[in-house]
Amino acid sequence: MFKSKIMLFVFIPFLMAAQNQKLSVYELKQDLTVFKEIREKANSGLYKYRTKQQTDSIYSWAFSQINEPKALLDFYKIILKITDFEGSLHNDTTLPENFQNKFSSGNVFFPYPVKLIEDKLIVNFRNTEIPLGSEIFSINKIKTKELLASFYKYYTTDGYNISGKSIGIAGSFARYFEMEYGSQKKFLVEYSLPDKSQKLLKTITGVSNEIRKENFKNRHSLPIDSLQYGKIKNKYSFKVITPNTSLLTINTFAIGNNAEDKEHLAYKKHLDSCFQYLSNNLQIKNLIVDVRNNGGGTDPNDILTFSYLTQKPYRENAEAYVNFQEIPFPNYLVYEETEPQKQHEERKDFEEEIKEEFPKLENGKYIQDEKFNALLQPDKNSFKGQIYLLISPRIASAGSLFASLATGRTNAIVIGEETMGGYYGHNGHTPVEYELPNSKIKTQFSIVNLEQDVPKKANQIFGRGIIPDREVRQTLEDFLKNKDTQFEYTLKLIEQK
């Protein structure tokens, strides 16, 4: 249950010779047919946000696009559009490894990191050509709104969510641009200076992939968003920040692999000590829980953490199910093992685990056994004061499951921006990966369709991320100062109360 798409989309555009190779109409239609049948048989979330009629419609569109031979990249974009349309942040579609391992030659990447601030595309790098904080209106005469919409398919989110796509766009803007519009030696940028309305034009030169990556490492916003991209070293922390307020920060739930893992047990011990301290110091009436950088992780870290915030029994899921007990289309499955006999054993072990957890067929669904979704109890030292939950578009998977429980089943005042992970549920837990026979495109998705154990709330919309009670976004002024807008807002709110 982990969301780290920035690292998963490792495509580096391939050489011109490879670009000119095309798949025949027969090969394209065969791959698209296999792709469609796999989703219908194995993907329990296929109709979670889209009706069968809507899904059939996008496949009709896809088939209409392959009436002549196509380059692999063009077919890849069609597949991406379908996987994004399904609405699951656990959907991943990648090009063949031999294509991914090839580099573009020359300086063809947009040179400067960007960031979405108040829905505007802002330069996120100090340079001498287009000043930091400038708003970009178009690049090579392509309007920003059109640019952003064309990039959405490269970074999937739950349901109809758009806010979470800002994470992918900020992290991979130059690569998305190259993939979508081809290699560019020059970029004609229409922009305005910070807090100015006059539009200016500047032609800037493309850079190599190495310089692109180096510039991103040196982006202006690094002090604020470093934990949203790359490896997280400080996974969690706790501190008392005023006599009546404490801060619990959980940057990831990738804390050990299971309940017996030493890292998980150390985390549990840490939580025990933190909440015992709070229980013994009743003057601390406010707890800020900051999960803004939490892209997910592993069970049971998310539901364990929630036990320290709730006063009532709870479950992880209201319902969970899969579509199958025996893996459909095993000949297209991507195995960890390489030997046929070991692959057979790997598949059988997987199917036995599925049959144990999802034993009963009801209305075409294999329902999760209750022993895997037990009724859980609050911790004896669970916090009884006021909770302030800080959220952001980065929150996904196990991070959004935890945030949903805290939003729906505690007194938390939720502050920040809509998450990319859904409030009511998602597809997660167990990923499978298939490889299409001709294009060798790989497609991965999670097979467990789960409804989270949260109540309906008027401000929580099906198909959207968690909606904050108080939407607080970074302004351009705060961006330029690298100011933590949501955290400072929360401290002021506590002070006023």
Q: Can you give the pLDDT at residue 203? A: 98
DSSP assigned state of 466: P
User: Options 2.30.42.10, 1.20.1070.10, 1.10.490.10, 3.40.50.300; which CATH number does 114-222 get?
Assistant: 2.30.42.10
Distance CA 73, CA 218 (A): 30
Distance CA 321, CA 50 (A): 18
Q: Can you give the pLDDT at residue 8? A: 35
Q: Can you give the pLDDT at residue 99? A: 78
Pairing of strands 186-192, 200-205: antiparallel
Torsion of CA 467, 469, 472, 473, to 10 degrees: 10
* Range scoring the smallest mean pLDDT among 102-116, 331-345, 356-370: 102-116
Please answer whether residues 104 and 178 qualify as being in contact, where contact means their C-beta atoms are separated by less than 8 angstroms: yes
Q: What's the token pair of residue 111? A: 């040179």
pLDDT higher than threshold 70 for residue 3: no
pLDDT band for 377, please (50, 70, 90 cuts): very high
DSSP 171-225: HHHHHHHHHHH---SEEEEEEE-TT----EEEEEE-B-HHHHHHHHHT-TTHHHH
User: Options 2.30.30, 3.40.50, 1.10.3720, 3.30.750; which CATH number does 5-98 get?
Assistant: 3.30.750
404-444 per-position pLDDT tens digit: 999 999 999 999 999 999 999 999 999 999 999 999 999 99
Express as a percent the part of the chain with pLDDT over 70.
95
> Crossing angle, helix 72-86 and helix 52-64, to 10 degrees?
170
Express as a percent the part of the chain with pLDDT over 90.
93
- β partners of residue 405: none
pLDDT band for 97, please (50, 70, 90 cuts): confident
The architecture in CATH of the region 236-496 reads: Alpha-Beta Complex (3.90)
Please answer whether residues 186 and 203 qualify as being in contact, where contact means their C-beta atoms are separated by less than 8 angstroms: yes
pLDDT higher than threshold 50 for residue 65: yes
Distance CA 105, CA 174 (A): 15
Q: Can you give the pLDDT at residue 16? A: 39
149-191 per-position pLDDT tens digit: 999 999 999 999 999 999 999 999 999 999 999 999 999 999 9
Torsion of CA 343, 370, 379, 487, to 10 degrees: 60
Where are the domain boundaries for CATH 2.30.42.10 in the chain? 114-222
Q: Can you give the pLDDT at residue 20? A: 55
B/e letters for 337-350, b = 16+ CB within 10 Å, e = fewer, are eeeeeeeeeebeeb
Q: Can you give the pLDDT at residue 15? A: 37
Query: 113 in helix, strand or coil?
Result: coil
Where are the domain boundaries for CATH 3.30.750 in the chain? 5-98
pLDDT higher than threshold 90 for residue 366: yes
Q: How many CB atoms lie within 10 A of CB 69?
A: 15
Distance CA 138, CA 141 (A): 5
DSSP 327-384: -S-GGGBPPS--SHHHHHHHHHHHHHHHHHHS-EEETTEEEPPGGGS--B---TT---
130-144 per-position pLDDT tens digit: 999 999 999 999 999
Where are the domain boundaries for CATH 3.90.226.10 in the chain? 236-496
pLDDT band for 98, please (50, 70, 90 cuts): confident
Q: Is the peptide bond before 313 cis (omega within 30 degrees of 0)?
A: no
- Which pTM was predicted? 0.94
Q: How many CB atoms lie within 10 A of CB 70?
A: 20
Phi-psi region for residue 91, left (φ > 0), alpha (ψ -120 to 50) or beta? Answer: beta
